[in-house]
């Protein structure tokens, strides 16, 4: 009987949908490029309301915006506009906006907010967001935020701040839903219904089962809790995957565990194994995103920063790596200076020389990026390191041979010299193989000696490919052509 009933309801649903489509005009959908960014017209309207000091209009325009969008807006406008907007909007200021703000302007925004507005905003935040907020602030501002919290919340935040920076204890939220291991589904549901709303986390995915000593013994998902009969013991519907995280564990290891084992949340325990908090997937993925972004920035030698940073701050971040690049360029130039006679006699060497170094540098950067990424995701281990190095060297050899043939023909056609074509072809193969070896080997060596591969590998790889490329090309030219 079920199938015919479903078919009939589907037919009625289709007829109703057709009627609604005739009555209502089609809804305009945002273009993919516009879907997740601020509308320029809306921003202009907001700034106009700020300019004319129309608080009511500003509140009306800001109300539909998500806190993350408001944070983006504050980051994009000038300091003067930001100050005026916050003072006009401060009564409606949400604590989540502070947690979404870039660190570079968060301190400025906190300084603009009145003490009462700041207190109200902070009280609405989860403990992990408060910890993230105050750990980068000056002592005076951090103390002001702690003073706005209730005694219980303040004690929780101060306890979290006692754990090492970038540890699970800093990342966790203290708000956690737990149940004794002997409870049934009905008892757990009744507990959740009777508990005041303010005593439960805003979002949670599991009920953590604990023994009498508060040691976590398993997780029960809300889905299984809702589907099971009231008389079912909780220990019969435990999740298969269960990870307990020590509070002192580095947050990078936490993010790896969430990604590796597809966790949604995980309990955090103290040195005695007692439950003290929980880490949720949004916080773990935020750590993963930050680490990926940090690796990309370090590979480029620009460090952490944002578009809101002052010129002098950005200059200080980039200057050291430009200085390192200058040293490597001088080293390459010293190699070239050893072959001044050859370059003076054969001008074509000066024309073709940058090609060899450039191709080697690009090949080295490709291998370097793959190696650094594999180290970060822990895919590159002691068991497969030599296989990966051999693979990258072989890739370099094959690419080197292909481009050697191309450049050999170019050398012959352009300069009419088969010997010159042979020289640049040979140098190309040598440098591409060395690039694969250096691009993979250098990050591995740096990681073994405790240096961040993303931070220092680029300068070393560039030096190796430039020096080897120039030396191979000019050395072969001096030996073969002169």
Q: What CA–CA distance (Å, rounded) separates 339 from 408? A: 21
pLDDT at 453: 85
Question: Does residue 12 sit within a domain?
Answer: no
Residue ending a domain, among 131, 162, 193, is 162
- Containing 265, the helix (H) or strand (E) segment is strand 265-269
Q: What is the pLDDT of residues 302-352, one digit of tens each?
A: 666 555 567 787 787 778 778 888 888 888 888 888 888 888 888 888 888
State yes or no: pLDDT of 183 exceeds 90: yes
| Average pLDDT of the residues in 77-101 | 87
Q: Are residues 445 and 385 in the same domain?
A: yes
Can you read off the two tokens belonging to residue 152?
A: 């219980």
Q: What is the pLDDT of residues 137-147, one digit of tens each?
A: 777 778 888 88
What does DSSP assign to residue 27? P
Q: What is the pTM of this model?
A: 0.68
Q: What is the pLDDT of residues 137-174, one digit of tens each?
A: 777 778 888 888 888 888 888 888 889 988 999 999 88
Q: Are residues 322 and 208 in the same domain?
A: no
Q: Are residues 85 and 207 in the same domain?
A: no
State yes or no: pLDDT of 98 exceeds 70: yes
Domain at 149, CATH number: 1.25.60.10
| Average pLDDT of the residues in 1-6 | 36
Q: Are residues 196 and 334 in the same domain?
A: no
- List the domain range (segments joined by +) for residue 154: 32-162
Q: Are residues 94 and 150 in the same domain?
A: yes
**Contact criterion met (CB below 8 Å) for 285 and 252:** no
What does DSSP assign to residue 137? S
Residue 27: pLDDT band (50, 70, 90) is very low
Q: Are residues 341 and 425 in the same domain?
A: yes
pLDDT at 22: 41
Q: Are residues 320 and 395 in the same domain?
A: yes
Question: Does residue 151 sit within a domain?
Answer: yes
pLDDT at 415: 85
Q: Are residues 88 and 188 in the same domain?
A: no
Which residue is it, tokens 């895919």?
A: 379
Burial 353-381 (b: 16+ CB within 10 A, else e): bebbbebbbebbbbbbbbbbbbbbeeebe
Domain at 361, CATH number: 1.10.357.20
Question: Does residue 243 sit within a domain?
Answer: yes
* Tally of structural domains, the chain: 3
Q: What CA–CA distance (Å, rounded) separates 353 from 361? A: 13
Pairs from 440-446 (Cβ < 8 Å, separation ≥ 24): 440/367, 440/368, 440/370, 440/371, 440/388, 440/389, 440/392, 440/393, 441/389, 442/368, 443/368, 443/371, 443/372, 443/375, 444/371, 444/375, 444/380, 444/385, 444/389
Q: Are residues 39 and 148 in the same domain?
A: yes
Question: Which residues are within 8 A (CB) of 263 and not within 5 positions of it... i.e. 6 or more apart?
Answer: 241, 243, 257, 281, 284
pLDDT at 134: 84
Q: Are residues 328 and 472 in the same domain?
A: yes
């Amino acid at each position: 009987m079920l199938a015919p009933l479903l078919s009939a309801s589907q037919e009625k649903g289709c007829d109703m949908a057709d009627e609604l489509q005739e009555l209502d005009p089609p809804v305009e959908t945002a273009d993919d490029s516009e879907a997740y960014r601020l509308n320029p017209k809306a921003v202009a309207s907001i700034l106009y309301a700020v300019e004319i000091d129309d608080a009511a209009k500003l509140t009306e325009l800001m109300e539909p915006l998500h806190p993350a969008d408001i944070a983006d807006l504050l980051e994009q406008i000038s300091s003067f506009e930001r100050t005026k907007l916050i003072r006009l909007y401060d009564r409606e200021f949400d604590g989540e906006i502070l947690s979404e703000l870039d660190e570079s302007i968060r301190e400025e925004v906190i300084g603009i907010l009145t003490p009462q507005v700041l207190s109200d905003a902070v009280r609405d935040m989860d403990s992990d967001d408060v910890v993230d907020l105050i750990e980068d602030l000056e002592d005076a501002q951090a103390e002001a935020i702690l003073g706005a919290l209730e005694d219980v919340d303040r004690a929780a935040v101060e306890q979290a701040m006692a754990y090492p920076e970038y540890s699970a204890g800093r990342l966790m939220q203290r708000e956690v839903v737990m149940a004794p291991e002997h409870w049934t589904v009905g008892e757990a549901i009744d507990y959740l219904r009777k508990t005041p709303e303010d005593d439960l986390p805003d979002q949670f995915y599991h009920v953590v089962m604990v023994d009498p000593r508060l040691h976590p013994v398993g997780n029960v998902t809300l889905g299984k809790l809702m589907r099971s009969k009231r008389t079912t013991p909780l220990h019969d519907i435990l999740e298969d995957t269960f990870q307990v995280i020590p509070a002192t564990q580095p947050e990078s290891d936490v993010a790896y565990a969430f990604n590796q084992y597809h966790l949604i949340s995980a309990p955090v325990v103290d040195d005695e194994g007692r439950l003290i908090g929980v880490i949720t997937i949004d916080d773990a993925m935020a750590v993963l995103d930050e680490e990926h972004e940090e690796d990309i920035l370090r590979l480029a030698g620009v460090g952490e920063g944002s578009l809101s940073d002052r010129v002098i701050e950005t200059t200080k971040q980039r200057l050291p790596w430009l200085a390192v690049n200058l040293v490597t360029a001088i080293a390459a130039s010293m190699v070239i200076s050893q072959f001044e006679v050859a370059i003076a006699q054969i001008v074509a060497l000066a024309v073709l020389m940058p090609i060899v170094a450039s191709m080697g540098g690009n090949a080295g950067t490709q291998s370097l990026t793959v190696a650094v990424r594999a180290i970060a995701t822990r895919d590159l281990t002691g068991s497969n390191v030599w296989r990966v190095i051999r693979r990258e060297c072989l890739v370099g050899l094959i690419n080197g041979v292909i481009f050697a043939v191309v450049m050999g023909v170019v050398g012959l056609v352009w300069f009419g010299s088969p010997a010159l074509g042979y020289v640049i072809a040979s140098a190309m193969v040598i440098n591409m193989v060395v690039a694969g070896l250096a691009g993979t080997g250098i990050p591995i060596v740096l990681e073994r000696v405790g240096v961040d591969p993303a931070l220092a590998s680029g300068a070393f790889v560039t030096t190796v490919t430039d020096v080897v490329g120039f030396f191979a090309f000019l050395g072969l030219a001096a030996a073969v052509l002169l």
